[in-house]
């Protein structure tokens, strides 16, 4: 059994997870990163995407985060997410509709501010769909 570290995942609405983990994998500002016991102290912004939690007992959870921050301390990993949704709670139809609406809005915008908002919404919806895809692969036995 590997050494574990305590992890808290908190959204603006609720605490999503609190417990011992073997590792946490997230999409940071510089790309995907994994954190385990003994990782150097770190504070990094998170991009929208899946957050993989490998629990102490070997079970795995997937959570979508819309952004926020990942903080690593010697004995604690903290994720402060703007929005966090367990993968199994994501509404695929709503995420796909949001992605299509944002894509259409981007194609029809001349205003840079509205274009940026639509691009952000499209990135978030696409990240939700990616999280669902990873959940399906995991359930089929792939990683």
pLDDT digits (tens, 9 = 90+) for 36-64: 999 999 999 999 888 999 999 999 998 98
Strands (E), 49-92: 49-55, 60-65, 68-73, 76-81, 84-86
The rounded Cα 65 to chain-centroid distance in angstroms is 3
Q: Give 13-42 pLDDT, tens digit per residue.
A: 899 999 999 999 999 988 899 999 999 999
CA distance 79 to 99: 25
Give the Å distances, CA to CA, from 89 to 58, 70, 104, 121, 122: 21, 22, 26, 19, 19
> What residues does 50 pair with on adjacent strands?
64
The model's pTM:
0.68
């Amino acid at each position: 059994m590997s050494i574990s570290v305590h992890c808290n995942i908190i959204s603006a609405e609720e605490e999503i997870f609190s417990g011992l983990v073997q590792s946490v994998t997230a999409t940071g500002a510089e790309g995907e990163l994994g954190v385990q016991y003994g990782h150097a102290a770190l504070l990094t912004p998170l991009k929208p995407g899946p957050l993989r939690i490998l629990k102490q007992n070997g079970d795995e959870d997937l959570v979508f985060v819309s952004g926020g921050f990942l903080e690593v301390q010697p004995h604690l990993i903290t994720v402060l997410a703007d929005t966090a949704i367990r993968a199994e709670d994501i509404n695929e139809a709503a995420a796909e509709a949001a992605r299509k609406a944002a894509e259409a809005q981007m194609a029809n915008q001349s205003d840079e501010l509205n274009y940026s908002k639509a691009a952000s919404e499209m990135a978030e919806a696409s990240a939700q769909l990616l999280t669902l895809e990873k959940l399906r692969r995991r359930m089929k036995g792939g990683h």
